[in-house]
Amino acid sequence: MWGSYGRRMSRLDSDVPVVSAREVTKTFGSLTAVDRVSMEVHPGDVYGLLGPNGAGKTTFMRILFGLIRPDSGDLHLWGTSVQPNPVAALTAVAGFVETPQFYPYLSGRANLKLLAKLDGGESRHRVSDVLETVQLADRASDQVRGYSYGMVQRLGVAAALLRDPSLLVLDEPTNGLDPAGIRDMKALVRQLAEQGITILLSSHNMSEVDEICTKVAIMRRGQIAFDGSTQELRGRADRATRQLDTTDNRQALALVEGRAGVTRAKLQGGMVIFDADDRTVEQISRELVTAGLAIGTLNAPTTALETLFFRLTEPRPEEDAA
Partner 1 sequence: MSLTSTISSPSSQRQSTTELRRPGAGTVFTVEMRKILGQTKTRAIAVVLVVAPWVFILLVLHQDRLPLETLYGRYLKVSGFATPMVVLVTGAQWVFPLLASVVSGDMFSSEDNHGTFKTILTRSTSRNAIFWGKVLAAVAATTALILLLGASSLLAGLVTVGAQSFVDVGSGGISAAQGLGMVAGSWASVLPPIIGFAAIALCVSIVTRSSVLGVVIPVVVGLVFQMYTFLNAWDTVRHSLLNTPLNSWRGLFDHPSYATPFWHGLAVSAVYTVLFLSVGYFVFRRRDVTEG
Q: Which residues bind partner 1 (CB under 8 A)?
A: 1-5, 7-8, 28, 62, 65-69, 85-87, 90-106, 110, 114-115, 117-123, 126, 129, 132-135, 154, 157, 159, 161, 163-165, 184-185, 187-188, 191-192, 195-196
Q: How far is the CB of 119 from partner 1 (least distance, A)?
A: 5
- Assess contact for 26 and 219: CB atoms under 8 A: no
What is the enclosing helix (H) or strand (E) of 82? none
Q: How far is the CB of 306 from partner 1 (least distance, A)?
A: 26
CA-wise closest residue to 37 among 14, 67, 62: 62
CA distance 113 to 136: 14
CA-wise closest residue to 46 among 229, 184, 243, 284: 229
Q: Which is nearer to partner 1, 80 or 229 (CB)?
A: 80
- Assess contact for 237 and 308: CB atoms under 8 A: yes
What 3-state DSSP class applies to 322?
Answer: coil
CA-wise closest residue to 238 among 280, 297, 286, 299: 280
- Assess contact for 296 and 270: CB atoms under 8 A: no
Q: How far is the CB of 51 from partner 1 (least distance, A)?
A: 18
- Inter-CA distances, 283 with 208, 213, 241, 246, 290, Å: 32, 34, 16, 15, 11
Q: Which is nearer to partner 1, 189 or 271 (CB)?
A: 189
Q: Which is nearer to partner 1, 110 or 273 (CB)?
A: 110
Between the CA atoms of 147, 153, 154 and 155, what dihedral angle is there, to the nearest 10 degrees?
A: 70
CA distance 189 to 199: 8
Q: Which is nearer to partner 1, 82 or 256 (CB)?
A: 82
CA distance 250 to 181: 46
Q: Which is nearer to partner 1, 173 or 227 (CB)?
A: 173
Q: How far is the CB of 7 from partner 1 (least distance, A)?
A: 5
Q: How far is the CB of 108 from partner 1 (least distance, A)?
A: 13
Within 10 A of 278 (CB to CB), how many other CB atoms are there? 12
What is the enclosing helix (H) or strand (E) of 169? strand 167-171
Q: Which is nearer to partner 1, 121 or 292 (CB)?
A: 121
Who's near 144: CB < 8 A, 6+ residues apart?
102, 103, 104, 105, 106, 107, 108, 111, 152, 155
Q: How far is the CB of 56 from partner 1 (least distance, A)?
A: 13
Q: How far is the CB of 111 from partner 1 (least distance, A)?
A: 8
Q: Which is nearer to partner 1, 35 or 184 (CB)?
A: 184
Q: Say which amino acid occupies 89.
A: A
Q: Which is nearer to partner 1, 180 or 322 (CB)?
A: 180
